[in-house]
Structures are given as C-alpha cells and as structure tokens.
C-alpha cells in the first residue's frame, strides 16, 4: 500500500480506483505552496490538475515520490526536468478531452452556420426574426482544418458525416494518412482561399501565434466562417474584427481567446460572432475520463508496470554513456523537422563511435520527441512519440557503427532530402552540444534557440548579403559556421541569432539570386 496525495478535485471514480488498488488516498485540496511542501514527504504519488505547482522545491521535499499524475493534458505546472533528474515519473491524461473538444468545434460550426445563439436571444427578447437569421447548410461546403492531430481528425470524421469536402493544413501529416481520412492536404493560403468554414486545431507555439493574421484573412474566400475551439492567440483577434466588419469574413465561433479569462472584446459586439468561455473540455465525461485515466496510470506506475502516458523517463534507467546525448538528440530532431518544414518522407538515424555499443533506444525516442514536439495537441513524450510516427506514416530506421573518423561519438539523421549530424564537444563540466554537419556540408556551431540555415552559391560576398539583411532588421549573429561543397559549387551558412528572422528578412534573402535555399530553425 502506498500513500497517494491528491491536491485537487478529480472524479470520484478515479479516487475509488486508487482505493480499490489498496492505496491510501489522502485528499488535501487548496494547499498553499508552503503547505504542499510540508504535505508531500512520504507520498509515493502526487495527483494534481492545473492549479498545483509541482516545483523543484516540492520535488526536493518529496522523498520517496514515484510518480506525479496530472489529470488533464497540459504540464505547464510541473517541472518535468527536475522530476526526471530525481527519477520521478510524470504522467498525464492526453486523450481525456479530445472527444469533448471535437464536439465543441462541431457545435460552434453548427451554431455559426444556423445563427442559433442569435436567433435564441432575439426570440426570448420578444422578436420573431426568421428572415434576419437565415443560415446555410454544411452539406456540400468546404471545411478547412488547421492542425490534423487527434482532435482535428475527429472533427474531420464528423464533418464527413455532414457531407462536407475536407481540406487540411498540417505539415507534419503525410499525404497517405490524410487521404486515408478523406482529407486533401494543402497550403494554409490555399485552405483559406477555398474553404467556406475553417476550424482551428493547431498547437500553440511561437510559430502559430497570430497564424491567422490580417494578410491571410484578406486572401481568404469571401464569406468564410472561422471556428476556434483549439488554442487562443492563433487568430489575430483585432484582424478578425476588422475582417468581419469589412465583410471579408462572414462570422466566427470562438471558444478560446488570446487572454483568458476575458469578458470584454470588440468581437462580442459583432452579431455574427458566437462565443463561449473555453468549454472544450467542460463535460462530465471529459472530467470523469481524466480522473479515471490518471488513477490507472498512477496504479501502473506504483506497481512498476509499463505506463502508456508517461511523459518522461526516469534518469536512473538510462546509461551514463547515453544520458548526456539525450538533449542533443532531441535538438537534432527539432532541427531536422525545421529543415523539412514538415514531416520528412523517412527518417534514418545512425549512431557512430562509442554510442554504437550502447542502448540507444532512448536516443531514438529523443529524436522523435524533438521532431514531433510542436505537432500535437498534447505533450510529446518518450512513450507516445513512436505511436505518432506510426500514425503519421513515418518510417524510422536505425543503424550503428563503431567507426567514427572525426568524432568520438556522432548522431546523424537523414531523409531523402536533408541530413544533420551532432556530437558533444569538450570534457568534464564543459561538455557542449555541436551541430557538425548539415546537408552534407561540414559545419560546427552550437545549437541555439534561433538559427538560420542558408544554402547559397559559393562565391564572394554572400556572407555579407546575409549579414546586412539581418543587421538592417536589428538581428545580431551570435555564432556562425560556413561549410563549402566543392562538388556542388555551393556553400552552407548556419547562423545563431539573438531573435528570429522576420518574414520580411526571409523574403528579402530569398529574392537574392545567390541564395538557393533558406530555413529558419527554432530549438
């Protein structure tokens, strides 16, 4: 029997499962940070929702803690790195609300198509306004889905039942998988230009904040209707207001907002806008599933069994040879994804040197975790990353060789179009990651948050072209490596910058005849 500390309200069925498994369930809701630190010693499991902050101090006090369970999707309130360092498993309930969220999106689609909330408000106010609130059918219309993850796929399935044509924008979904779902992949611009309705299900990242902006709305199909039951901030709300007022956009159905909670917005003044206060997961079923799922995961963790929704790996389970390479492998996965600007056709991972004789499975999981990190609605974990690869049709192959001519250890990722290699440089406490090859050009540069990869003609002045363009935008270069290729007559620049390059800078560089290719990398 183990003590399970529960600090927030979860479904009674979940508490009952923990008790039936023979554990002592200690429910203490509303603990202050200080009281949590005092209460957690002796607990083998800590079950939370979104309010409890599981900090490094809490984990340091939690002697004997085996698992932290979050009854929901997000993990912003858990210091996962600190938990991993202490060998504490972190689990969540990533699928608990996907059905509820998909149904909320469909409810907003129908409400937007048929003006149900507006007609209801008019009728209860004593106005019979049949002609004013005439709607449109979903049948035969085109629905554009931005983000074809689990929730987006459920929306697609339900929209097909209404007889809608489906388009989707998701650079991390293979065409074969989309075709199997009855969905046609296209660019975001094409989606906005052809869709009668758009439903947003993209994960919120620095790249997707403001994704639906003024320029994109101006190019959209006249009369388009937009629904967002995913994440607030992906739509530029000010631009949406202007587009609705101008008539470019017919209306919108919004469950999420850039700032929450919000009770005042220019959007609320528009008759063609339907809103709700982030109710996507607010169903009895979703809350029940979250409580039951997290109880099941905690029971498995305490029993030492395989835990499907673990989001980390206990540090004690990884060898000392492999462990330092885990962050590098994840960074290489992210780098690789940025080079492709979507999902590669295949992924070949080669381990060279001393790593070839070690258990590198966790490194492959780290690569996949990095590759998929910004492509799903729930956190990507070492456990669910292989499932995502299978679902999205990504073929993964591993090879290893004990020979590494230039480095003690080397990790290389390849597809049909791009390649990247990395290693660790230095010794002792000064070991640092290095990217040492990109697209078969030898380079050496430390990975950083903002990077640019520029392939250009190998001729004088090209470094200056890039430097001037960045300098004119006030962007500083913190490190840079150049790798020429005598065989192709091209060179590759890999630069680290203090902030991301704007679309204006990228467009300016692409217009230079000496620039052959350019990719922005965010780690």
Give the orientation angle of helix 98-114 with respect to helix 150-161, to 10 degrees. Answer: 40
Tracing tokens 């704007």 back to the chain, one arrives at: 502
Nearest to 93 by CA among 50, 52, 56: 50
Tracing tokens 């994804």 back to the chain, one arrives at: 337
DSSP 23-88: -EEEE-TT--HHHHHHH-TT-SEEEE-SS--B-HHHHHH-TT--EEEESSS--TTB-HHHHHHTT-
DSSP 315: G
Nearest to 68 by CA among 49, 89, 51: 89
Nearest to 314 by CA among 83, 91, 47: 83
Determine phi and psi for 216, rounding to 5 degrees: -70, -40
Concerning whether 260 is annotated as a catalytic residue, the answer is: yes
For residue 491, the tally of other CB atoms under 10 A from its CB is 22
Q: What SS3 class is residue 144?
A: strand
Q: What SS3 class is residue 174?
A: coil
**358 is written with which tokens?**
């070690």
Concerning whether 278 is annotated as a catalytic residue, the answer is: yes
Rounded distance, CA 384 to CA 308, Å?
Answer: 8
Contact 497, 471 (CB under 8 A): no
Helix or strand run (H / E) with residue 465: helix 462-472
Q: Which position among 70, 177, 231, 508 bears the catalytic label?
A: 231
Nearest to 200 by CA among 225, 180, 163: 225
Q: Is 296 left (phi over 0), alpha (psi -120 to 50) or beta?
A: alpha
Q: Which position among 20, 260, 390, 449 bears the catalytic label?
A: 260
Give the list of residues 6+ apart from residue 345 with CB closer than 8 angstroms, or none: 415, 416, 417
The two counts, helices (H) then strands (E), for the chain are: 17, 22
Q: Which position among 114, 165, 278, 346 bears the catalytic label?
A: 278
Q: Which residues are catalytic?
A: 231, 260, 278
């Amino acid at each position: 029997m183990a003590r399970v500390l529960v600090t927030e309200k979860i479904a009674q069925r979940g508490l009952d499962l923990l008790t039936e498994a023979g554990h002592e369930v200690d429910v203490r809701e509303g603990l202050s940070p200080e009281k949590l630190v005092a209460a957690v010693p002796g607990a083998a499991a800590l079950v939370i929702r979104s309010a409890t902050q599981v900090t490094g101090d809490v984990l340091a006090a939690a002697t004997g803690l085996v698992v932290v369970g979050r009854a929901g999707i997000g993990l912003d309130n858990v210091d996962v790195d600190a938990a991993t360092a202490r060998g504490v498993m972190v689990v969540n309930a990533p699928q608990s609300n996907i059905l509820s969220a998909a149904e909320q999106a469909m409810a907003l689609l129908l409400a937007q198509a048929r003006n149900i909330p507006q007609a209801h408000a008019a009728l209860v106010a004593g106005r019979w306004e049949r002609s004013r609130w005439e709607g449109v059918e979903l049948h035969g219309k085109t629905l554009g889905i931005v983000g074809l993850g689990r929730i987006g796929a459920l929306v697609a399935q339900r929209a097909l039942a209404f007889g809608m044509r489906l388009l989707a924008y998701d650079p991390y979904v293979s065409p074969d998988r989309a075709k199997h779902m009855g969905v046609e992949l296209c660019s975001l611009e094409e989606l906005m230009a052809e869709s009668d309705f758009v439903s947003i299900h993209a994960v919120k990242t620095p790249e997707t904040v403001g994704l639906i902006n003024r320029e994109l709305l101006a190019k959209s199909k006249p009369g388009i209707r937009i629904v967002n039951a995913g994440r607030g901030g992906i739509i530029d709300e000010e631009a949406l207001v202007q587009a609705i007022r101008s008539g470019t956009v017919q209306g919108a159905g919004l469950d999420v907002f850039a700032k929450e909670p919000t009770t005042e917005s220019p959007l609320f003044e528009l008759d063609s806008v339907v809103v709700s206060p982030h109710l996507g997961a607010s169903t009895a079923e979703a809350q029940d599933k979250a409580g039951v799922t997290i109880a099941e995961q905690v029971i498995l963790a305490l029993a030492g069994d395989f835990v499907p929704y673990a989001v980390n790996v206990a540090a004690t389970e990884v060898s000392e040879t492999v462990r330092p390479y885990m962050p590098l492998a994840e960074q290489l996965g992210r780098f690789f994804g940025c080079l492709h600007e979507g999902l590669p056709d295949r992924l070949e991972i080669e381990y060279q040197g001393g790593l070839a004789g070690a258990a590198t499975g966790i490194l492959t999981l780290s690569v996949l975790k990095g590759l998929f990190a910004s492509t799903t609605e729930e956190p990507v974990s070492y456990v669910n990353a292989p499932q995502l690869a299978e679902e999205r049709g990504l073929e993964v192959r591993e090879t290893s060789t004990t020979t590494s001519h230039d480095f003690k250890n080397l990790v290389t990722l390849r597809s049909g179009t791009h390649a990247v290699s990395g290693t660790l440089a230095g010794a002792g406490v000064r070991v640092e990651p290095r990217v040492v090859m990109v697209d078969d050009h030898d380079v050496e540069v430390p990975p950083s948050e903002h990077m640019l990869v520029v392939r250009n003609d190998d001729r004088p002045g090209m470094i200056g072209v890039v430097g001037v363009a960045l300098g004119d935008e006030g962007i500083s270069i913190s490190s840079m490596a150049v790798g020429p290729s005598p065989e192709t007559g091209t060179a590759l620049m890999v630069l680290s910058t203090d902030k991301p390059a704007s679309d204006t800078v990228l467009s300016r560089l692409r217009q230079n005849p000496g620039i052959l290719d350019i990719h922005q990398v965010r780690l």
